[in-house]
């Protein structure tokens, strides 16, 4: 997307854009998501964002409460994977985290969330229809906008406290908080 289109999308949102930037549900974190409610509503696959959602930025530590929730999701029968906009230099981090969690952490490369094409490999991996997939993330302009564009159920979670966002995330997050929260 051209930079001017991005700026107008973010700063002068029309009604359609506002709808696309609105999550279907919000939780304070993964540990608080009501998994049975999701399952009963027909969701069968979950795509998790990494930075700020599963872990803090540049941390490989997944808190115990999140690990327990992922185990619970697995027992219920959800298929899961991760999807991250992390660049090539961090792909080994993604692979390592995926091995630890027991599902693949896919890079969105060569696309990037919120482009719909960034979600296709993750959706193919899960093998469910878009309406059976939940996208869970801490960013409106990437996870929620992209998840809504592909027709998934979108869940916005609060980023970890003291997430140490890099500057390229701090600015759009500041805008998201003022425009859409």
Q: Does 23 bind Mg ion (CB under 5 A)?
A: no
- Indicate the length of the chain as a whole number: 181
For residues 73 and 38, the answer to whether their CB atoms sit within 8 Å is no
Q: What is the rounded distance in angstroms from the CA atom of residue 92 to the CA atom of residue 90?
A: 5
Q: Does 165 bind Mg ion (CB under 5 A)?
A: no
Q: Considering CB under 5 A, how many residues would be counted as binding Mg ion?
A: 5
Q: What is the rounded distance in angstroms from the CA atom of residue 137 to the CA atom of residue 169?
A: 13
Beta bridge pairs of residue 135 = 47, 154
For residues 125 and 152, the answer to whether their CB atoms sit within 8 Å is no
Q: What is the rounded distance in angstroms from the CA atom of residue 97 to the CA atom of residue 102?
A: 8
Tell the smallest beta-carbon distance from residue 77 to Mg ion (Å). 26
- In the complex with Mg ion, which residue's Cβ is closer, 4 or 170? 170
Task: Give the number of other CB atoms < 10 A from CB of residue 43.
Answer: 19
Report CA torsion sign: 139, 142, 148, 154: negative
Q: For 47, phi and psi rounded to 5 degrees?
A: -110, 120
- In the complex with Mg ion, which residue's Cβ is closer, 39 or 164? 164
Q: Which stretch binds Mg ion (CB under 5 A): 3-11, 33-41, 119-127, 134-142?
A: 134-142
- In the complex with Mg ion, which residue's Cβ is closer, 27 or 39? 27
For residues 114 and 132, the answer to whether their CB atoms sit within 8 Å is no
Which residue of 49, 115, 165, 176 would you call a contact of Mg ion, by CB under 5 A? 49
Report 66-125 residues binding Mg ion (CB under 5 A).
none
Which residue of 29, 45, 52, 107 would you call a contact of Mg ion, by CB under 5 A? 52
- In the complex with Mg ion, which residue's Cβ is closer, 44 or 139? 139
Tell the smallest beta-carbon distance from residue 15 to Mg ion (Å). 26
Q: Does 176 bind Mg ion (CB under 5 A)?
A: no
Q: Which stretch binds Mg ion (CB under 5 A): 22-30, 31-39, 50-58, 74-82?
A: 50-58
Residues that bind Mg ion (CB under 5 A): 49, 51-52, 138-139
């Amino acid at each position: 997307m051209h930079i001017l289109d991005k700026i107008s999308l973010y700063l002068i949102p029309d009604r359609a854009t506002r709808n696309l930037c609105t999550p279907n549900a919000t939780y304070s974190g993964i540990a608080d998501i009501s998994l049975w409610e999701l399952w009963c509503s027909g969701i069968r696959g979950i795509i998790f964002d990494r930075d700020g959602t599963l872990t803090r930025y540049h941390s490989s530590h997944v808190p115990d409460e999140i690990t327990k929730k992922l185990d619970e999701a697995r027992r219920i029968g959800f298929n899961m994977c991760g999807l991250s906009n992390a660049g090539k230099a961090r792909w080994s981090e993604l692979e390592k985290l995926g091995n630890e969690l027991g599902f693949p952490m896919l890079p969105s490369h060569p696309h990037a969330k919120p482009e719909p094409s960034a979600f296709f490999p993750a959706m193919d991996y899960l093998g469910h229809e878009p309406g059976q997939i939940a996208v869970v993330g801490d960013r409106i302009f990437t996870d929620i906008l992209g998840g809504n564009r592909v027709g998934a159920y979108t869940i916005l979670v609060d980023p970890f406290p003291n997430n140490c966002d890099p500057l390229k995330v701090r600015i759009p997050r500041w805008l998201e908080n003022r425009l859409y929260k």
